[in-house]
């Protein structure tokens, strides 16, 4: 997982709780990297899982809720760092329809070693977009937070539902987005 995801996570923890909270998380997780992330480096995604589980334990939340919250913050910083991926779209559905074929394709050019999920995208009708998320990292709650934040960025008005694609978490999730 790219270092920028880790640095964004720790910055968000600092802003939401405190710098001490971010330091405590890193210390408690006994990370192989030591927690000294650089934005261009690449690290084991299990370090992110550890940080998320530790923050969840310390704040009385479920790890899924922490990942969803993180997705909200991460979208803001991605949109600020890569405005061209967000600008020029009429609405959230138009932007998200290009998550696989446009946005993450461009991300892959910038970071050839990025570990990206796979989204199967289908446009059911003018009001409905279906995104099937699959990833060995099982971060569907992060995807959910990113999608919700994207909808908010374009002024809301889209209902987002998440349903499992199979009996295990590893099967992924289906996001159905319906314009109200």
The least CB distance from residue 16 to ligand HEM, in Å, is 20
In the complex with ligand HEM, which residue's Cβ is closer, 22 or 146?
A: 146
* Rounded Cα–Cα distance for residues 176 and 27 (Å): 39
Which secondary-structure segment (H or E) carries 146? helix 140-153
Residues that bind ligand HEM (CB under 6 A): 1-2, 5, 78-79, 82, 85-86, 96, 99, 103-104, 107, 111, 114-117, 135, 137, 139, 142-143, 146-147, 150
* Rounded Cα–Cα distance for residues 79 and 72 (Å): 11
* Rounded Cα–Cα distance for residues 109 and 132 (Å): 23
In the complex with ligand HEM, which residue's Cβ is closer, 114 or 178?
A: 114
Per the CB < 8 A criterion, the answer to whether 142 and 68 are in contact is: yes
| Closest to 55 (Cα-Cα) out of 45, 66, 44 | 66
Per the CB < 8 A criterion, the answer to whether 67 and 139 are in contact is: yes
The least CB distance from residue 101 to ligand HEM, in Å, is 13
Q: What is the DSSP string of 114-130?
A: ----EEEEEEEETTEEE
The least CB distance from residue 134 to ligand HEM, in Å, is 9
In the complex with ligand HEM, which residue's Cβ is closer, 54 or 140?
A: 140
In the complex with ligand HEM, which residue's Cβ is closer, 19 or 83?
A: 83
The least CB distance from residue 118 to ligand HEM, in Å, is 8
In the complex with ligand HEM, which residue's Cβ is closer, 53 or 79?
A: 79
- Point out the residue whose Cβ comes nearest to ligand HEM: 135
In the complex with ligand HEM, which residue's Cβ is closer, 2 or 50?
A: 2
The least CB distance from residue 52 to ligand HEM, in Å, is 12
DSSP E strand boundaries for 126-157: 128-134
The least CB distance from residue 20 to ligand HEM, in Å, is 26
CA angle 96, 97, 99 (to 5 degrees): 60
């Amino acid at each position: 997982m790219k270092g920028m995801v880790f640095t964004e996570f720790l910055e968000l923890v600092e802003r939401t709780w405190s710098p001490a909270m971010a330091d405590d998380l890193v210390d408690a997780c006994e990370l192989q990297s030591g927690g000294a992330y650089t934005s261009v480096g690449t690290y084991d995604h299990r370090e992110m899982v550890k940080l998320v589980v530790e923050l969840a334990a310390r704040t009385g939340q479920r790890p899924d809720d922490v990942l969803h919250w993180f997705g909200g913050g991460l979208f803001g910083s991605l949109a600020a760092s890569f405005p061209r991926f967000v600008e020029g779209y009429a609405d959230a559905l138009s932007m998200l329809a290009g998550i696989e074929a446009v946005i993450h394709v461009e991300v892959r050019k910038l970071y050839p070693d990025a570990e990206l999920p796979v989204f199967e995208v289908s446009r059911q009708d003018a009001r409905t977009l279906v995104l099937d998320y699959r990833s060995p990292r099982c971060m569907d709650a992060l995807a959910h937070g990113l999608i919700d934040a994207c909808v908010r960025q374009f002024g809301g008005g889209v209902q987002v539902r998440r349903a499992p694609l199979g009996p295990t978490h590893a099967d992924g999730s289906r996001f159905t987005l319906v314009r109200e």
